[in-house]
Amino acid sequence: MLKQCLLALMVAGLLYAVTPASVAQESGNNDQQAAPGGPPPGRGHGHFDPAKRAEMLAKHLNLNADQQAKVTDILKSEQSQMESLRSDTSTAQQARRAKMMDIHKTSNDQIRAALNADQQKKFDEMMSHRQQWMQGHQQGGEAPPPPDSQQQK
């Protein structure tokens, strides 16, 4: 059960990390067609809702109420920064992607700082598995399944 939960978290993290790049690419190709006000809120990114992500982390890491509130604030800030960056058409796509990765890393560092030692260990394992899965996925072809799905205990 824990393996399946970690798998779900890793997939959600992967989608969160990969989607900004693809959205930036799509919006870069459709700039002439985009409305001046930018994309409407909630354009299919409901599963990246900071409150839902914080709830998922709370479940997997056994966060207390104070930690969950901090994580929610961190994720809301991250979402706000990402949205601002996505709407910034003056920045090149490659530069936006790099900034998005920096924002995500900073958020992860802030979340990690709010955790106790045991939670940090679990969080690090989750991020490590996610990174391994992303590297396999980015090498092209058939990506191997995330490490958790290969090891059923």
Convert the pLDDT of each residue in 54-113 to its tens digit: 998 999 999 999 999 999 999 999 999 999 998 988 989 899 999 999 999 999 999 999
Q: What is the pLDDT of residue 9?
A: 58
CA–CA separation, 49 and 30 (whole Å):
25
| Tokens describing residue 105 | 């890393």
Q: Is residue 132 scored above 70 in pLDDT?
A: yes
CA–CA separation, 93 and 115 (whole Å):
33
Q: Is residue 128 scored above 60 in pLDDT?
A: yes
CA–CA separation, 6 and 26 (whole Å):
30
Q: Is residue 147 scored above 50 in pLDDT?
A: no
Q: Assess contact for 149 and 3: CB atoms under 8 A.
A: yes
Work out the end-to-end distance of the chain between its first and last CA atoms, rounded to an integer number of angstroms: 9
Round the average pLDDT of the chain to a whole number and report it. 74
pTM: 0.60
Q: Is residue 23 scored above 80 in pLDDT?
A: no
